[in-house]
A and B are shown apart, each in its own frame.
Chain A
Amino acid sequence: MGWGFAGPFVAVFGLVFLAPIGYALYLSLFQDRLIGGTSFVGLDNYGKALTDPRFWEGLTRVGLFLLVQVPVMLGIALFAALAIDSGRLYGKTFFRVAIFLPYAVPAVVASLIWGFMYGTQFGLVGNINDAFGVTLPNPLSPSLVLASIGNIVTWEFVGYNMLIFYSALKVVPRSLYEAAAIDGAGEWRVVTAIKLPAIRSALVIATIFSIIGSFQLFNEPSILQKLAPNAITSDFTPNVYTYSLSFSGQQHNYAATVAIVMGVLTAIIAYAVQLRGMRKG
């Protein structure tokens, strides 16, 4: 009887989630070579992935990205949500929609738009250089390209996170604010003592989404790669690396291994953040 209800879910879950993971696990145990064909190699691919400098370089890069970009993005999103929720902002619907709008732009298109602006030859940066006779630093140079990507991702996702925070703020009972005002609490005190604790779980959720998003960084670097081929390497992020392993290197098995290792690492870190975030007090 119970299976009757669970059945459809279990079937779909098995088909679209468990089966691909199972297949990736299966693939990761083999090696397919141009000369010699396919052979069973056990856990060799995992040993290789864990000691692969190209993989770790990409992982370090997204780790750095996470540490800088996620706090900046969530900080801006929180500030915007609090400002809109404060009731002191004129035209708050406009701001809410305007801040959210970039999220509706597909990541590929966003990367292209920003890529054209970053161009020092014919892009906006180039135009500014020409018009004012200055030399702005090249946003697509190896030292700045990660920050430039962070800028695109922040632009894209501030609105999304703002909306999560804002909807969490909306359900806080207004009577709490009135009580606080009667007790003589200022706006800042209301924010720190009432609003932030009230939306704590939303903050944790947004942080976890952002961590996963950072580890999966792919669209922006792979689009910008065409414009900055020497700054964005084929192992720029773990996902870009997996892609190039699989599609230009024909190393499907090793690519599956890297993807699994990356998935496990992401799950561990996201889980750790959740445990820490949900702990009381």
Chain B
Amino acid sequence: MSTHTTRRLLAALAVVSTLALTATACGSDASDAGAGGSGPKDVAAALEKGGKVTVWAWEPTLKKVVEDFEKKYPKVDVELVNAGTGDKQYTALQNAIAAGSGAPDVAQVEYYALGQFAIGKSVEDLSSYGAQKYGTTFTNGPWNAVTDDQAIHALPMDSGPMAFFYNKKVFDKHGIEVPTTWDGYVEAARALHKADPKIFITNDTGDAGATTSLIWQAGGRPYKADGTDITIDFNDQGVSRYTATWQKLLDEKLLAPTTSWSDAWYKGLADGSIATLSIGAWMPANLTSGVASASGDWRVAPLPQWTKGDKTSAENGGSSLAVPKAAKNKELAYAFTEFATTGAGASSRVAAGAFPATRADLESKAFLDTDFPYFGGQKANRIFAQSARDVGADWSYLPYQVYANSIFNDTVGKAYVSPTKLSEGLKAWQEASVTYGNEQGFTVNK
């Protein structure tokens, strides 16, 4: 029996490698036409035939999905590779695409970074595999992030509607009210730091993702992209709302100079010296595993608002699964992507702690009624789900946001360590981003 299976597997592999070789040969002849090829792709036939799929991702809940997928399609062998988190993986992916070999069949790409791969035409348009039928499966934010007028560049895997995580123990101890507006937030920051100089309302050493998300919530829309025509403007009202508030926190030294995800950060979250986080709804899993000792101290609330009584939120992080053009086995790659992001695959990931991008999971009773022992039994998903509905519309990132974020600390970072104002830092960031964009062949601010 087992020899039989092995032989069949070998035969399948041989077929796949031959196919891969031919595909590569075609690709080099007519690089773009090869991808579009012969109309709708026959995913079912590919699954029937089997083969190997390499997936680059760091999302932990995919492990179970891989097992389930292989169980359902025994002829398909999925290899899950952690090629680094975020930037590191994009660098590896970009290099593999440039080198023309070694690219995975499926890659996890965060929403902010997808544009870079889409504009470089290095990911498949999934509408040629039938992905357009999922238009209403996903919530608006993530779906807008993976699509544009022409194409579906990836399928949403999770999302990060923002919420306000606060250490209730610290707030209770000093008798300070949990803020519901950003003005109240500044007040709370002052009060906490005054009560105990070791306590900071939050940490911040300049984080492009967090800054753009809060600007998003404040109504700022600094980036507008229409194909290769781009406008960058950090002068709108939303941006100045953000800078006015954040400048106060910087001037009065109310932000802990601790970089997120560092050891010191986890310590600060555990011992109460970092009292709140405004971050994506994917955070609970990280708190549970990384800050286990503070279990029961933390609670979740909606984000503080820029205008009292308002109900606006924003996205922070979240990833999609994309199929690189350089993938060897695109039909199978799509099949896996579809399985992992919709239906049973998505539900199993939600059960394992991922935050859903699918409407059905987001609205399911089991999801909404989940108790979080870490948050003292709070039904935190209700707050997250509401936040997902309140995400401000029409936000877009730059098609080269990965690069822009990499120079954030060169420019905006100055506001954190010198008398440079935040608004000046953002202006310098805008200029550097404009220069880079024009050098790269975009038409920016022209």
Which A residues are within 8 Å of any B CB, using their own CB?
A: 33-36, 119-122, 141-142, 226-227, 229-231, 233-235, 244, 247-250, 252
Chain B interface extent, by class: 35 or more
Are B206 and A34 within 8 A (Cβ)? no
Choose among B418, B436, B441, B442 the residue with the greatest number of A CB atoms under 10 Å from its CB: B441
Are A33 and B441 within 8 A (Cβ)? yes
Q: Tell me, rounded to whole Å, the shortest Cβ–Cβ distance linking B46 to chain A.
A: 31
Q: Tell me, rounded to whole Å, the shortest Cβ–Cβ distance linking B203 to chain A.
A: 9
Are B409 and A229 within 8 A (Cβ)? yes
User: B94: which A residues are within 8 A, CB to CB?
Assistant: 250
Alpha-carbon gap, A85 to B228, bound state (A): 68
Given contacts A35-B441, A120-B257, A229-B205, contact A250 B403 (CB under 8 A): yes
Judged by DSSP, the binding face of B is helix
What 1/0 mask marks residues of chain B from 293 to 314 whose CB sits below 8 Å from any chain A CB? 0000000000000000000000
Q: Tell me, rounded to whole Å, the shortest Cβ–Cβ distance linking A212 to chain B.
A: 26
> CB of B324 within 8 A of chain A?
no
Which residue of the partner chain, among A35, A142, A249, contacts B417 with CB atoms under 8 Å? A142
Are B410 and A34 within 8 A (Cβ)? no
Are B417 and A33 within 8 A (Cβ)? no
User: B409: which A residues are within 8 A, CB to CB?
Assistant: 229-230, 233-234
Give residues of chain B (263-282) contacting chain A, Cβ–Cβ below 8 Å: 263-264, 267-268
Are A34 and B120 within 8 A (Cβ)? yes
> CB of B235 within 8 A of chain A?
no
Are A119 and B205 within 8 A (Cβ)? no
Judged by DSSP, the binding face of A is loop
Which B residues are within 8 Å of any A CB, using their own CB?
A: 87, 91, 94, 98, 116, 119-120, 205-206, 228, 256-259, 262-264, 267-268, 399-400, 402-403, 406-407, 409-410, 413-414, 416-418, 436, 439-442
Q: Tell me, rounded to whole Å, the shortest Cβ–Cβ distance linking A127 to chain B.
A: 13
Given contacts A120-B257, A235-B410, contact A34 B440 (CB under 8 A): yes
Which residue of the partner chain, among A36, A120, A226, contacts B262 with CB atoms under 8 Å? A226
Alpha-carbon gap, A250 to B400, bound state (A): 10
User: A36: which B residues are within 8 A, CB to CB?
Assistant: 441
Are A231 and B441 within 8 A (Cβ)? no
User: B228: which A residues are within 8 A, CB to CB?
Assistant: 35
User: B264: which A residues are within 8 A, CB to CB?
Assistant: 119, 121-122
User: B268: which A residues are within 8 A, CB to CB?
Assistant: 121
Given contacts A229-B259, A248-B87, A249-B403, contact A234 B442 (CB under 8 A): no
Q: Tell me, rounded to whole Å, the shortest Cβ–Cβ distance linking A40 to chain B.
A: 15
